[in-house]
Structure 1
Amino acid sequence: MSLGYFSYPMPVNEPVLQYAPGSVEKAALKKTLAELKKKQTEVPMYIGGKAIKTGKKVRMHPPHEIEHTLGFYHEGEEKHVKQAIDAALKARQSWAALPWEDRAHIFLKAADLIATKYRTYMNGTTMLGQSKNAYQAEIDSACEIIDFLRFNVHFLSEIYKQQPISSPGMHNRTEWRPLEGFVLAVTPFNFTAIGGNLPTSAAMCGNVVVWKPAHTQVYSAQMFMRILKEAGLPDGVINLIYVDGPVLGKVCFSHPDFAGVHFTGSTGVFNQMWKTIGENIANYKSYPRIVGETGGKDFVMVHKSADADVVATALARGAFEFQGQKCSAASRAYLPSNIAEEVKARLVAQVQSMKMGTVEDFSNFINAVIDERSFDKISSYIDNAKKDKKAKILVGGNYNKTEGYFIEPTVIETKDPKYVTMCEEIFGPVLTLYVYDADKFEETLALVDGTSSYALTGSIIAQDRDAVILATEKLRYAAGNFYINDKPTGAVVGQQPFGGARASGTNDKAGSMLNLFRWLSARTVKETFNPPTGYHYPFLKES
């Protein structure tokens, strides 16, 4: 029952705590890290509000300290996927019928719980489980996830206000219905906030969700799920399961009530999902919504007018924050010949000053990559570069997995603009530089645009405004998020809606109203107050 029109104004972004020496937040976070490391957490799946323990335990450990056990999660199988779908569909009608303000307040309360009571726990589980330093965790598992929840409530309230006009004698309205069925959310390891946003953005719109996080993100995902339950999320609305991808796909993509997938991960997996959905299209009650943010080979294009210090800093931060494990991380850079040596010298100096180690030592800028598989893949690119005459390692190039999956931030220079590390996504702390003739800026823009199949993020660094204008035009389709005089990372909810096109995804812009439209199905209702009683129109009379 609705008793009024409720307002949810545009929020402000959650302030980012700095964790400076002697600060209250630094002491609190260190205390939580110590607390989390002292105990082993047993993590169940959550299906229909019940904690499901299968007995098939999988050990969780910090990527930077592989001998330490954080706890165990209970791995599921095919029957648990079916149970999760059944639980979601059972909750569907009552959740869709819940007044909007009651749905909204669940997610607003969750945001407030993260901002206060659970801030150090969201950051602590992210730091230990995904090897993020304190600042990278703060902007992810605290600020961004809070922003997603608060801004999405505002965006959805604005969507609900969008109504058609009415003529005399009638009234028109639009109902913004949830989709008919369940939504599958598949989330990656690298951002706890994505793990939170993909299921909740769909659920906020009245949908029910089956959520499968990456195995390497379970430690922080379960913390968020516990917060949602404390905030009052009804049983079955979001069901958190830990299963292998093929098992998940087999059940979900063959189910007649499959209504959509909200995905962040690799391009190859997303392509396979799309293919499978297409092959099963006749089985579904409605055409599923397919929303995905996938890979990137993100660029920094530098003009001859650029400031060398600005360029070096943008590359150091853009390429190596969170070990380059961001979809948006700078991984290829084009330096003009007139300032190339200056930029390289400054960049090498910055990289050499970066400390690498555990997350508990807040002086470490670099931590570990996520797992052994990733470590082996990244190190193979480095090994090949060491042997290739087309490549030269300027700094870094060492790695070790004795205690954790540590790879030094590595800068490669190549004389071949189509060298493998300029083209293929590596997803690690590897940046490749190509020096171009400073007088061939426009030709190099064409090279940037045509080198990669991806189109996620990119930047232009220049003091010459004409160069900025030209790059913005020529690279219009090369990046869904384009940065001027900045690194190509760090999108903020409500400020830079995030997503790319080409092989980087469907560009449905997480952190904006555009994404929420994908989880809604509009119904237009026309009501006539004084309906006609005969078929005759005035034009039928001749006189």
Structure 2
Amino acid sequence: MLRGTTVGARSTLRLAARAATAAYKTRPAPLPLRSLSVSFLSYRTHHLYSTMANPQLGLFTIPAVENEPMKSYAPGSPERAALQAALAEMQAQAPFHVPIVINGEQIKTGKVAQQLNPSDKSVLCTYEEADVALLNKAIDGALKARAAWEAMPFADRAAIFLKAADLLSQKYRYKVMAATMLGQGKNAWQAEIDAAAELADFWRFNAQYAQDVYKQQPIKNAPGNWNRVEYRSLEGFILAVSPFNFTAIGGNLGSAPAIMGNVVVWKPAPAAILSNYLVLEILHEAGLPKGVLQFIPGDAPTLVGAAIDSPDFAGLHFTGSTAVFKKLWKDIAMNVDKYKNYPRVVGETGGKNMHMVHKSADPRQVVLQTIRSAFEYQGQKCSACSRAYIPDNLWPEIKAGLIAEAKRIKVGPVTDFTNFVTPVINQFAFDKIKGFIEYAKAAKDAEIISGGTYDDSKGYFIQPTIIVTTNPAFKTLTDEIFGPVLTIYVYPADQFDETCALADKTSPYALTCALFATDRQALVHGANLLRHAAGNFYLNDKSTGAVVGQQPFGGSRASGTNDKAGAAMNLLRWVSARAIKENFLPLPDFLYPSNHQ
């Protein structure tokens, strides 16, 4: 029986339903889906806003997306020559100057700071620093751009980011990589992973995920009704606060909310200014309206504090330290009465990631995977392996392997492609990491078996360092270091369960974890024991290297809100759904069938 209808109305509905069925069966054949080109959601999602100004004339599906192919940069390869040329050109033209960008207008304040090249401490670029007045101007401009941006059909919004991905991967690939290498201290391979492949992947896969979100519609319609759901942008602006270590993260923190129709105020990290500015220029060249993404470098506490104090603050998209994120969460909570809605708070923060090794593991693979995870990009990845738990039956072989392989690591500037380890980001990071190494040197319950040296006379270079401790609560086992320092705890091989429990409670973080074993039951058992120890869990693989479209990335506990960058889960955080029910038939009476005698 139909809910909410009278007995008389039911027969009317049945006749209408039969007529509708007959009309449906005799309808013209639809165009095949493969003949269409960007997403069907345009009409359903945006027709109420933009039918007159932007008529929807087709049901669209975006082109199939794939991960950006990786280039090798091997000796003699054309990509190596092109990247070396881009590096040489950028070094010759430096220092560059980066403005504040509000509504597409380049603004200079006279208050200028510097981004250094950590390989040699030279000035890569200078940049303008915004004040609160300019921040408020950026917020106002973003809010004015919001209605038109949200109303733009999704096909056109998606096309902007798909075009940006193509521009990045072809026209601007080596320029953005050079800025990432020189400014953020990445070697060629790490820059390729980040500034070329991952950023292009974010832009392409976010278009696919957005389409998938919009396709989520009610599965039932009662006769005489049509049910549908709109995925509206959030009321207000999104604040994106990005880190230094990934150009791709900077590009994604602003563009993920934007593709869902939001406007964004972007506060880039001081040590990633040049590469982030190039990302903004690519997006504008691809057609992003000027006020949708405002670029506001400057003092983080001042600008971020003022942004979350605005009544129009609608959400925070953050990657950075746990301490800063916790403070921002508290500040947002204190301001909750002034906001129009409860702000969305999405954060990816710190990690104290581990390799857990079972007694059945392949020692050679443990060595190679651990060296790469702990020391690639100098351990300046939130996913880097910072601690390892090794069973005593494998320790002699693994120890010898780690020492031998660490000796093969070359340390030096990014322009020498043979260097596996390049500089840490700045003097503050250098001094912090140096302090951990000196602490281990002075400790009676720890031993440095490899590395332990450092040099900041020219650039900020730290030799990959391996510490072994007998203390399961040793400082370098518990505290986030964010540098090329690995700490190992050797445990009795028959105490795997107890060691998993120990490792799980040693750190407040839960970002990445790798489990090594050749025994399948050990993999199953260990994965269960460590179920909540990481948001990204690896079996017989290193703890780094999540790929957009393959491993959605994020952790819980002190590591963040686990909203999974590179997945539809993240995009759902930037929309507010509106369920719409449309009735086609009049209600004959207000009485229920049960009211009749």
Question: Which bracket does the TM-score occupy, shorter chain normalised?
Answer: over 0.9
**What's the counterpart of residue 284 of structure 2?**
229
Matched, 1:312 2:390: no
Structure 1 residue 531 displacement after superposition: 2.6
SS for the counterpart of 1:287 is coil
**What's the counterpart of residue 380 of structure 2?**
325
**What's the counterpart of residue 42 of structure 2?**
none
Rg: which structure is higher? Answer: 2
Alignment of structure 1 residues 494-509 onto 2, 5 Å: 494-509=549-564
In the alignment, the residues of structure 2 paired with residue 162 and residue 346 of structure 1 have an alpha-carbon distance, to the nearest angstrom, of 51
Alignment of structure 1 residues 174-193 onto 2, 5 Å: 174-193=229-248
Alignment of structure 1 residues 180-219 onto 2, 5 Å: 180-219=235-274
Aligned 8 A contact 2:263 2:293 in 1: yes
Matched, 1:35 2:73: no
Residue type of the partner of 1:97? A
In the alignment, the residues of structure 2 paired with residue 83 and residue 410 of structure 1 have an alpha-carbon distance, to the nearest angstrom, of 47
| Matching residue within 173, 192, 202 for 1:119 | 173
Structure 1 residue 533 displacement after superposition: 4.2
Matched, 1:92 2:146: yes
1:40-80 deviations in Å (ceiling 9; x for gaps): 211111111111111222122211110x2222111111112
In the alignment, the residues of structure 2 paired with residue 277 and residue 234 of structure 1 have an alpha-carbon distance, to the nearest angstrom, of 29
**What's the counterpart of residue 133 of structure 1?**
187
The percent identity for this pair of structures is: 55
Residue type of the partner of 1:252? A
Total equivalences in the alignment = 541
SS for the counterpart of 2:86 is helix
| Matching residue within 328, 339, 345 for 1:284 | 339
In the alignment, the residues of structure 2 paired with residue 162 and residue 432 of structure 1 have an alpha-carbon distance, to the nearest angstrom, of 46
Aligned 8 A contact 2:319 2:349 in 1: yes
1:219-259 deviations in Å (ceiling 9; x for gaps): 11011011111111101100011121211233111111100
Alignment of structure 1 residues 136-147 onto 2, 5 Å: 136-147=190-201
In the alignment, the residues of structure 2 paired with residue 320 and residue 169 of structure 1 have an alpha-carbon distance, to the nearest angstrom, of 63
Matched, 1:432 2:508: no
Aligned 8 A contact 2:83 2:178 in 1: yes
Alignment of structure 1 residues 354-393 onto 2, 5 Å: 354-393=409-448
| Matching residue within 317, 320, 323 for 1:268 | 323
Aligned 8 A contact 1:460 1:483 in 2: yes
Aligned 8 A contact 2:128 2:298 in 1: no
Q: TM-score if structure 1 supplies the norm length?
A: 0.99
Matched, 1:78 2:94: no
**What's the counterpart of residue 77 of structure 2?**
23
1:340-378 deviations in Å (ceiling 9; x for gaps): 011011111111111111111000001000011111111
SS for the counterpart of 2:565 is coil
1:284-327 deviations in Å (ceiling 9; x for gaps): 00010000000000000001111111000111000000000000
Matched, 1:335 2:390: yes
Matched, 1:454 2:496: no
Structure 1 residue 538 displacement after superposition: 1.6
SS for the counterpart of 2:217 is coil
SS for the counterpart of 1:116 is helix
1:506-543 deviations in Å (ceiling 9; x for gaps): 0000000100000011001111111314311221112x
In the alignment, the residues of structure 2 paired with residue 319 and residue 352 of structure 1 have an alpha-carbon distance, to the nearest angstrom, of 14
**What's the counterpart of residue 35 of structure 2?**
none
Structure 1: runs of 5 or more not aligned: none
| Matching residue within 536, 551, 572 for 1:517 | 572
Residue type of the partner of 1:244? D
Matched, 1:44 2:76: no
Structure 1 residue 487 displacement after superposition: 0.6
Structure 1 residue 490 displacement after superposition: 0.1
In the alignment, the residues of structure 2 paired with residue 338 and residue 250 of structure 1 have an alpha-carbon distance, to the nearest angstrom, of 53
**What's the counterpart of residue 110 of structure 2?**
55
Aligned 8 A contact 2:115 2:272 in 1: no
Q: TM-score if structure 2 supplies the norm length?
A: 0.90
**What's the counterpart of residue 45 of structure 2?**
none
Structure 1 residue 428 displacement after superposition: 0.4
In the alignment, the residues of structure 2 paired with residue 241 and residue 34 of structure 1 have an alpha-carbon distance, to the nearest angstrom, of 29
**What's the counterpart of residue 156 of structure 2?**
102
Aligned 8 A contact 2:73 2:188 in 1: yes
**What's the counterpart of residue 68 of structure 2?**
14
**What's the counterpart of residue 203 of structure 2?**
149
Structure 1 residue 10 displacement after superposition: 4.5
In the alignment, the residues of structure 2 paired with residue 531 and residue 375 of structure 1 have an alpha-carbon distance, to the nearest angstrom, of 73
In the alignment, the residues of structure 2 paired with residue 207 and residue 378 of structure 1 have an alpha-carbon distance, to the nearest angstrom, of 39
Q: Which moved more, 1:245-254 or 1:392-401?
A: 245-254
SS for the counterpart of 2:81 is helix
Aligned 8 A contact 1:10 1:151 in 2: no
